[in-house]
């Protein structure tokens, strides 16, 4: 678990010569460490939360803390009740609106402290928690911490217990299966996922071996020649199967990867991007469905 909760720190007095007017140092009661190693602290747990991540929005609903949400992005589309929550922008936040909403905490996703969004929120004096889970187990730990932050500890604990049981079942059922898999996030440039991502972690639990798991970057750009050498047995496309771009994608795969086992056997599967690309309970539930492709 990348961040820990330290509950209810006592007031700490400065050491040294004491007098009636000696200065006192007051510690925050609630302290969390986010995924960038930043300390995020509160006197009281936050009641006004803005989520700049569809996954966090979904997870807040999942632990029964919808009442805490005062703002979300235009990408936050699940559950359906999100349509009734104030939208505060997308990748380009409406900073003026966000400031006016007076949030106690803002959740964002970033793998670097150089994030323009993080820096802007910090300059505005807003409290920010950076979440960037990279595995299925980290999704569980994030849910636990989210429960602590939102004051829904018991709800989160029950949810995580159920999810952990499912993960253990997937692991025992699919642990010996190693079907070579290739995930295409983008065709131009050809982009996939490394083993440092929760999507790769999910595929492993479903019994697949990510052929680019050893890449250094989280989302490496690869060549078709690289894919041909690794010869995937199945190809996953996180795209709506009814999308207008599907025929062209399939045609490109046929032309570029026709010698791979996956294309020869027409073993190309579509995955719901709103599920598979979000670090939520729905992704963990979906692992069972993905394993059926094995």
Query: Which pLDDT does position 281 carry in this prediction?
Result: 98
Phi first, then psi: give them for residue 234, nearest 5 degrees: -150, 145
The CA distance from 254 to 109, in Å, is 35
DSSP code of 38? -
Which tens digit of pLDDT belongs to each residue from 23-67?
Answer: 444 466 899 999 999 999 999 999 999 999 999 999 999 999 999
How buried is residue 244: exposed, middle or buried, by Cβ count under 10 Å (0-12/13-18/19+)? Answer: exposed
Structure-token pair, residue 25: 């140092």
Domain 6-132 falls under CATH 3.40.50.1980: yes
Task: Specify the CATH superfamily of domain 175-291.
Answer: Nitrogenase molybdenum iron protein domain (3.40.50.1980)
Q: Are 205 and 289 in contact (CB under 8 A)?
A: no
Q: Are 94 and 88 in contact (CB under 8 A)?
A: yes
pTM of the model: 0.87
Q: With H, G, I as helix, E, B as strand and everything else as coil, classify residue 135.
A: coil
pLDDT of residue 243 exceeding 60: yes
Structure-token pair, residue 262: 């996956």
> Could you tell me which residue, 240 or 15, shows the higher pLDDT?
240
Angle subtended by helix axes 153-174 and 136-150, to nearest 10: 170
Helices (H) and strands (E) in the chain — how many of each?
Answer: 11, 15
What DSSP line would sit under 95-160, residue for residue?
HHHHHHT--SEEEE--SSTT-HHHHHHHHTT--EEE----SHHHHHHHHHHHHHHHT-HHHHHHHH
Residues of the chain within CATH 3.40.50.1980 domain(s) are 6-132, 175-291
Q: Omega into 139 within 30° of 0, i.e. cis?
A: no
CA distances (Å), 16 to each of 22, 23, 26, 193, in order? 9, 10, 16, 55
Which tens digit of pLDDT belongs to each residue from 195-224?
Answer: 999 999 999 999 999 999 999 999 999 999
The CA distance from 111 to 133, in Å, is 10
């Amino acid at each position: 678990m990348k961040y820990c909760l330290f509950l209810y720190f006592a007031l700490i007095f400065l050491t040294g010569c004491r007098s009636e007017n000696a200065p006192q140092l007051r510690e925050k009661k609630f302290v969390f460490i986010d995924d960038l190693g930043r300390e995020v602290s509160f006197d009281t747990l936050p009641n006004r939360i803005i989520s700049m991540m569809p996954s966090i929005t979904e997870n807040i609903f999942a632990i029964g803390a919808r009442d805490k949400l005062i703002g979300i992005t235009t990408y936050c589309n699940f559950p359906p009740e999100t349509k009734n929550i104030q939208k505060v922008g997308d990748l380009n936040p409406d900073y003026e609106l966000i400031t006016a909403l007076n949030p106690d905490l803002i959740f964002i996703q970033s793998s670097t402290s150089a994030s323009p969004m993080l820096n802007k929120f910090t300059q505005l004096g807003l409290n920010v928690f950076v979440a960037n889970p990279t595995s299925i187990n980290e999704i569980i730990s994030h849910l636990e911490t989210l429960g602590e932050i939102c004051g829904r500890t018991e709800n989160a604990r029950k949810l995580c217990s159920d999810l952990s049981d499912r993960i253990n079942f997937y692991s025992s059922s699919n642990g010996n299966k190693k079907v070579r898999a290739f995930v295409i996030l983008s065709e131009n440039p050809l982009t996939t996922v490394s083993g440092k991502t929760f999507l790769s972690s999910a595929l492993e639990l479903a019994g697949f071996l990510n052929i680019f798991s050893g890449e250094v970057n989280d989302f490496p750009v690869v060549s078709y020649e690289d894919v041909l050498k690794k010869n995937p047995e199945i190809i996953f496309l996180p795209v709506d199967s009814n999308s207008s771009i599907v025929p062209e994608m399939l045609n490109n795969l046929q032309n570029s990867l026709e010698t791979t086992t996956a294309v020869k056997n027409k073993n190309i599967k579509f995955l719901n991007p709103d599920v598979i690309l979000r670090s939520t309970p729905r992704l963990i539930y979906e692992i069972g469905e993905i394993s059926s492709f094995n």
